[in-house]
Amino acid sequence: MNEIGILNTIKNIIGERYIGDDCAYLEDLGIVITQDSLVEDVHFKREWITPYQLGYKSVAVNISDVFASGACPAYITIALSLPNNLSENFVEDFYKGAEAALYGAKIIGGDITGSADKIFISISAVGKTKNRNISSRKNAKPGYIIITKGQFGASAAGLSKLISGDNSSPELIKAHLEPQLDYNFADIIARTVCEPYAMMDTSDGLADALFKIAEAGDVKAVVDYSLIPHPHNVSKDFVLFGGEDYNLIAAIPEKYISCIPGANVLGKIVDYDGVRLDISGQIFREYSELEVFNHFGENNG
């Protein structure tokens, strides 16, 4: 199956209103909600990740979506489908890891079922939106600056070490298995920026996120590669196209930059001129020109 085709199918059925952002924003309830799944042998290999790390990462990827919306993480539900040959210790360690990634949210329920042979995890997260300005990808406007925090490429480099069985860079492997989130960056933006702004996480890579923001807003993103923070031993391909760093990028009016401590300015939003993304002269006109980060050679959603 082809992911773009499927998304178009779904858009035609349910309408575009809630499609596109990391979370759905339910203004009538004052919440955002998101749901992401992790599937064994698609998103993780059981032999590479401990149950604790799996619990941590499964929750973190959902909390990251709540941060990207600008909301405050409040509640999560966890659905686990587990083969019968796992021990009860697996569940206990998984939940301990999950607790370590809550960033203030509470676990309020979920579902445990059997599974034929693979582990399936699906988590929903609810964030509160009161007194916060909620982001949307489509909000980037010409003149806005593009900001971020955190390092890029470490997670993908760590994954490549795991695939090749190279244990020489434990810090990169840890970046892949236990991604650290930055609450303060999103929190300050959502409580400080009073105008529409765009924010998303870089779960599918930095270039992916920049392209999607540019496309959703019908603008162009221009970024200087030399301004992108990354570990010294990580290749440019990993920095730009590697996913799962779970950093945030935002496009905001320039005047707010002084309120956001530690933000790195990567570039700016300009008028669309046939090009969506320009990274130090490397240009991308169509999404298909991006190398999409692909776990184990399969469609990772």
Binding stretches for a second copy (CB under 8 A): 1-3, 5-7, 9-10, 13-14, 18-19, 23-24, 26, 29-31, 33-37, 39-43, 74-75, 77-79, 81-82, 84, 86-88, 91-92, 95-96, 99, 106-118, 120, 122, 124, 126, 128, 298-301
Beta carbon of residue 161, minimum distance to a second copy (angstroms, whole number) = 23
Beta carbon of residue 18, minimum distance to a second copy (angstroms, whole number) = 4
In this structure, what token pair is assigned to residue 12? 């035609």
Mind spelling out the 3-state secondary structure of the chain? CCHHHHHHHHHHHHCCCCCCCCCEEECCCCEEEEEEEEEECCCECCCCCCHHHHHHHHHHHHHHHHHHHCCEEEEEEEEEEECCCCCHHHHHHHHHHHHHCCCCCEEEEEEEEECCCCCEEEEEEEEECCCCCCCCHHHCCCCCEEEECCCCCHHHHHHHHHHHCCCCCHHHHHHHHCCCCCHHHHHHHHHHCCCCCEEEECCCCHHHHHHHHHHHCCEEEEECHHHCCCCCCCCHHHHHHCCCCCCEEEEECHHHHHHCCCCEEEEEEEECCCCCEEECCEEECCHHHCCCCCHHHCCCC
18 or 166: whose CB is closer to a second copy? 18
The CA dihedral of 38, 40, 43, 49, to the nearest 10 degrees, is 100
Beta carbon of residue 172, minimum distance to a second copy (angstroms, whole number) = 24
Beta carbon of residue 221, minimum distance to a second copy (angstroms, whole number) = 24
37 or 133: whose CB is closer to a second copy? 37
Beta carbon of residue 125, minimum distance to a second copy (angstroms, whole number) = 10
99 or 237: whose CB is closer to a second copy? 99
Beta carbon of residue 171, minimum distance to a second copy (angstroms, whole number) = 28
53 or 151: whose CB is closer to a second copy? 53
Beta carbon of residue 242, minimum distance to a second copy (angstroms, whole number) = 18
93 or 187: whose CB is closer to a second copy? 93
111 or 171: whose CB is closer to a second copy? 111
CB–CB of 290/204 below 8 Å?
A: no
61 or 177: whose CB is closer to a second copy? 61
